[in-house]
Amino acid sequence: MTDLIQEQKTKIRAEAHARRNAQENKDELSVEICAKFRALPEYVRANTVLYYIDVRSEVRTRQALPAALAEGKKIVVPWCNPQGELELFRLENMDELAIGMYKILEPKLELRSLPTKRVEAKELDLVMVPGVAFDRLGARMGHGKGYYDKLLQHARPDAPLVALAFECQLFPEIPTAPHDIFMDLVITERAIYHGKGR
């Protein structure tokens, strides 16, 4: 059974990547999607918000960061430590970011260990989540490395998990295992889908 699920996931992942890479007007659609995220009542209420920083063909979030920083919220971004786990960094200025090892925009090396910059997952009031593929019930598929799965286990149960995706990344059903975490909301350029949540 597990082999069958893995096989299905591999197929969906490949198709989702191809669809996302082929998606036109990524910049314009990303602006729309990020605007919907910032208009959420959950966003308005939140003090501490996790933003992912886009890589490759993901919904672009970096263009939304300057405005988010100007709103007076505590904006947090993740970075990956050598153990393959996500750590959280309080972002106060775009100058604190630099292009890292995998051509990914991430917090500068010399700032990461500063006590004032470290944030615990339980401090987050709202969590923006990237992914490769989703369904309309909030099932998510990442790259298969489990970075976000580990991080989300430490988020507070009352902190909504909100995925950003292009409509082309949605599938009728994503195969899930008992440990998989469902999103509360999935935002695309077309709609806001209410997922099952945790």
d(CA 7, CA 13): 10
d(CA 33, CA 165): 8
- The CATH code of the domain at 2-194 is 3.40.50.10420
Q: How confident is the model at residue 177 (pLDDT cuts 50, 70, 90)?
A: confident
Q: Which amino acid is it at 175?
A: P
**pLDDT tens digits for 89-104?**
999 999 999 998 778 8
- 3-state helix, strand and coil shares in percent for the chain, rounded to the nearest 5: 35, 20, 45
Spell out the domain ranges in the chain: 2-194
Scored b (16 or more CB within 10 A) or e, 108-141 reads eeebeeeeebebebebbbbbbbbbbbbbbbbbbb
pLDDT at 186 (0 to 100) = 98
pLDDT cut 70: percent of the chain above it: 99
**pLDDT tens digits for 4-50?**
888 999 999 999 999 999 999 999 999 999 999 999 999 999 999 99
